[in-house]
Structure 1
């Protein structure tokens, strides 16, 4: 390409997206030197390619991600996000959210022989630092359940497999993937729908690029059949209501 021709090519608009430094496959994950992957990466890359944008993914621990996005404001976008998460940190920040990219079914993974126990029999619960197990907050606040946190889910699942935790609060698809592929114990823990569980919508958020979210929402509507095919590809199950 000649110098004149190169000058005619507009540079890509570049944006940073802060993502969780967490193994949460198939929904999203970081691995191999914090490379971002999974369902969300493929969707965001499809959108960026269509619009001629360049996305740089910045992986940070969950709590650190909030600081970079809300306080330091060094990130253009955050994914995943939800207006109900960490309201204590958001304050009066004017955060805008996209339409839902994927809905996460989150609940208690327990030993198969313990499935069907009453909530009052759950004395210990594990989840990742920075996550909020909403359905269990009353029991946690009243000290009826002891909450254990970790930087990742694999260790928590190991503790539950060893019966050192009564339950792990996690996305069901993520738990099943980790149990089968990483811990080599498929079915070692099972989802108990009789215990409190919730559905959480995952969106892209921003403090200053509302016009990009408008474009992203249009993309999500237009590409709905392709997004559904991607969910099937990644084994993301569409479950019923709460």
Structure 2
């Protein structure tokens, strides 16, 4: 007959082993539900932004956090400069997701990679912001255009490639908008809502530049993308369909306008 202390010790060991196994299983589940999302280190509010302390915010952050809370996921946002973000996502593959993304962007870097895209989270209306006195100019009168490094001003590429327009790039839009306000460049290619926010809140010159719909402009669909978690995107798409009304209310909250096509 075993000594009572031996029986108790064996039971204690069995209990500790069960607890350890349960903890390990819980840790595995937690790890499986934790993801990194690479985001643009850019002031692009109200759509998305990295503000004080390099913290990701704006409309996209609120939507992604809502989804994560519903599914029990943990998202860690990793802000990177636009070009560096592509390298981390496509080449180094150190990120689970990228936001924003679009199948048309950086096609040369994508190569044969199989990338999965979610449904559209928000559509960005992008065009030329010009001085009010210059509104109505023809494309032939635009000689210089500014945009952020890593962005592609699609409607202006033929004119840029033919050297009819000189393209200036910067790491942020605030400096480019200042150059346009000073009439040093003819236009800035940017999302209209973002430009209006920066002009009013950051540069304290509301209406200092205006959108010219007579110049080339385009709409870009912003999606969440991944190389290896397509099942999460399927869940995200279902979430976007189910919460359509709430997403519309969020757009109103952030002052994101629904504009017509080009």
Show the counterpart of 2:13: none
**Displacement over 4 Å in runs of 4+:** 6-10
Superposed CA deviations along residues 36-95 of structure 1, whole A, max 9, x for unmatched, are: 000000000000000000000000000000000000000000000000001111111110
Q: Does 1:200 align with 2:220?
A: yes
Q: CA RMSD in A?
A: 1.3
Show the counterpart of 2:83: 63
Structure 2, unaligned runs of 5 or more: 1-15
Show the counterpart of 1:44: 64
Structure 1, unaligned runs of 5 or more: none
| Partner SS for 2:189 | strand
Counterpart-to-counterpart distance in 2, 1:20 and 1:11: 26
Show the counterpart of 2:158: 138
Q: Does 1:228 align with 2:248?
A: yes
The 5 Å alignment of 1:147-226 reads 147-226=167-246
Residue 32 of structure 1 and its aligned partner are, at CA, apart by: 1.3
Show the counterpart of 1:125: 145
Q: Does 1:20 align with 2:40?
A: yes
Look at both structures and tell me which one has the larger radius of gyration over its CA atoms.
2
| Partner SS for 1:229 | helix
How many residue pairs are counted as aligned between the two chains?
239
Residue 11 of structure 1 and its aligned partner are, at CA, apart by: 2.7
Structure with greater proportional helix content: 2
Counterpart-to-counterpart distance in 2, 1:114 and 1:20: 31
